[in-house]
Chain A
Amino acid sequence: MLLPDLMLGSTALLLERYLDILAARQRVTSANVANADTPGYRAREVDFRSEMQSFLNGGARGPFPAVTASERWGEGAKNDGNNVSLDREMQALAENGMRFSLASLLLQKQIRGVRNAIREGRG
């Protein structure tokens, strides 16, 4: 349960939500990869932009709502109905990783910045 941000401000809140969405996305990617050869399995995905958008529109100030994942449509399905594309999942993997690194580094910087500001007040 999250209290409103006292120390880190609204950017940090945004970054935190960003990380949430990325983690959810990663989970979905892992599930897709595990089921790459499961007959009839439909690949799932998280609509990043709409999640971010609904957050920005003030949709989440209190406890963060769940990120929704939906089935991927319009992709070439194999004979058994499975439409997972490993190439696409590998790409998603790389992207997720980079973004997560970036966001967490930015948060780290913010935290350090605040900490420095606190300590600057000394003497």
Chain B
Amino acid sequence: MNGISGIGGGQWQTPPPESGKAGAAGFADALAEAVARVHHLQLDSGNEVRRLLAGDSEDLHRTMLAIQKADLAFEMLLEVRNKVVAAYQEIMRIQV
């Protein structure tokens, strides 16, 4: 499975596949970290929207951008998950 990297950064690249448990743990960690980041962005986005509604926020464009960033990060995560699931299913299909 190839890593998907965002424009301007390589934060999303999964670590090179390692054999055995160590590899699995490495991947799990990376995924956990990604989930945490997405969650953070979602919280951030939610906050920005709340502040906008309360009349408290900075500019509208910042709120909009926060929303987009959270959206994009979430979509990215979704795709990663889909790929992982697809890969898993592929592996399960291999007849031993």
Contact = CB atoms under 8 A, between A and B. Distances in A.
Interface of A: 1-3, 5-12, 16, 19-20, 23, 64, 104, 107, 110-111, 113-115, 117-119, 121-122
Contact of A5 (B9, B75, B83): B9
B76 interface: yes
A7 B7 contact: yes
Contacts, number: 79
A46 to B, nearest CB: 14
Contact of B11 (A6, A64, A113, A118): A6
Contact of B61 (A10, A23, A118): A23
Contacts of A23: 59, 61
B79 A118 contact: yes
Interface of B: 4, 6-9, 11, 37, 40-41, 44, 47, 58-59, 61-62, 65-66, 68-69, 72-73, 75-76, 79, 82-83
B72 A118 contact: yes
B interface secondary structure, majority: helix
Nearest to B72: A7
Contacts of A113: 7
A16 B63 CA distance: 11
A interface secondary structure, majority: helix
B72 A111 contact: yes
Contacts of A107: 65
A1 B44 contact: yes
Contacts of A10: 8
Given A119-B79, A122-B79, A6 B9 contact: yes
Nearest to B80: A121
Given A8-B7, A20-B62, A118 B75 contact: yes
